[in-house]
Amino acid sequence: MPAVGERLGVWRVSAVLFECASGVWFRVEHGKAAAQTGLALVYRHESDAQAVLMRFAEDSESLSRFRHPAFGAPLDSGLSPTGLPYLVVPAMEGAPLLRVAMALPLKRRMQLLLDLIDVLDAAHVHGLVLHELDPGTLWLSPAQQLHWLGQGLAPRDSQAPAALVRAAEPLANARQRAGGRPDANSETHALGRLLGMLVNGRLPRRDATEDGFEEEPEPGATPVASLQSWMSLTAAQRESLDQLLDRAMMDGRSFTDRQLLAQAVRDWIEVEPAAPRAGSGPAASASAPMPLLPLPPPLEADDERPASPGASWAERLAGLAFVLALAAIVAWLLLRGA
């Protein structure tokens, strides 16, 4: 990776920022216009060169015409002095999404997927489609606004190679990994996989070596940080969220386009836990799963807890002593009265 002060084409590296599964993010300055700054993603794999360079040459002009406050179109591309591909995008403050997302509440993390779908809706109007979803190119600003940087989009009629960067492969479906062009199914599949990463902090481990590719974990995307929000859910919420993730990430058939997926996510965010079915009555409501709370302190009384054998004998002896004492008092009073 380049060091501070080294050149990436006409750009000079001014700071090392973040590592992600794709590579390393740097802050760069234009060599001929010092006031112009940007962010450069230097990919860690030489094999990404075709996907990065050829698509920049073919699609960058179309992407630059797409104006959206949450999208940063690529400005430049090339090879580092050591032969690694790089991509330069507009400068911004913040950090790669998965480095910081786990600190957000669960609902907010899921809302970020809806924010990305809003960007995709606008892109489709301009003739652009989701070519690949590289989590390292999604950033979160200090104001917690989602930004999408780079070449994830492509014109519908793009003539660039269908190759994906390596970090996007775990989110792509099998047909696209085999060289197929993007379509509604591949788009929804990638979005569903991203939803799983936003909820769990990672993809399922059994997918890591699926079809021969190796998943490189996104730095900072630890599942441990999501445990607290997961434990705060009711049993009903956990079950419904598990079902949503299974449908979004696994079967590839439940959601045939991004709008169906978006509606399912909105429903979970806005209508949870699920209301009792019509006509189910109070009994059904009373049988709804209760929140999973921590166990009570050991000294807290519990009337329904069965008594231990030792405690039962002690109680019986105490009761017998009480009865005998009471009988003795009554007998004494009777004798005294006589």
Q: Quick one: pLDDT at residue 272?
A: 58
| pLDDT at site 310 | 40
Q: How many CA atoms lie within 13 A of 85 on its CB side?
A: 18
Structure tokens at 332: 């004494």
The pLDDT score that the predictor gives to residue 107 is 92
Q: How far is CA 30 from CA 49, 76, 208, 317, in A?
A: 22, 11, 39, 90
* pLDDT of the residue at 8: 94
CA distance 202 to 193: 9
Homologous superfamily (CATH) of 7-270 is Transferase(Phosphotransferase) domain 1 (1.10.510.10)
Q: Which backbone phi and psi does 146 adopt, to 5 degrees?
A: -75, 135
User: Hunting for tokens 């769990």 — which residue is that?
Assistant: 200
pLDDT of 253: 75
DSSP count for the chain of H helices, then E strands: 11, 12
Looking at residue 333, what is its pLDDT?
A: 54
Predicted confidence (pLDDT) per residue in 143-153, tens digit? 999 999 999 99
Which segments of the chain have a pLDDT < 50? 208-209, 211-213, 273-314
Report the predicted TM-score, pTM, of the whole model to 2 decimal places: 0.75
Residue 20: CB atoms within 10 A of its CB come to: 28
One-letter amino acid identity for 312? S
pLDDT in tens, 28-73: 999 877 678 999 999 999 999 999 999 999 999 999 999 999 999 9
Burial readout 281-296 (b: 16 or more C-beta within 10 A, e: otherwise): eeeeeeeeeeeeeeee
User: What is the structure's pLDDT at 328?
Assistant: 63
> Helix or strand or coil: residue 62?
helix
Helix (H) or strand (E) holding 26: strand 23-30
pLDDT at 23: 94
Q: Which residues contact 160 (CB under 8 A, 6 or more apart)?
A: 54, 55, 57, 58, 59, 154
Query: If you ran DSSP here, which 8-state letter would residue 206 be given?
Result: G
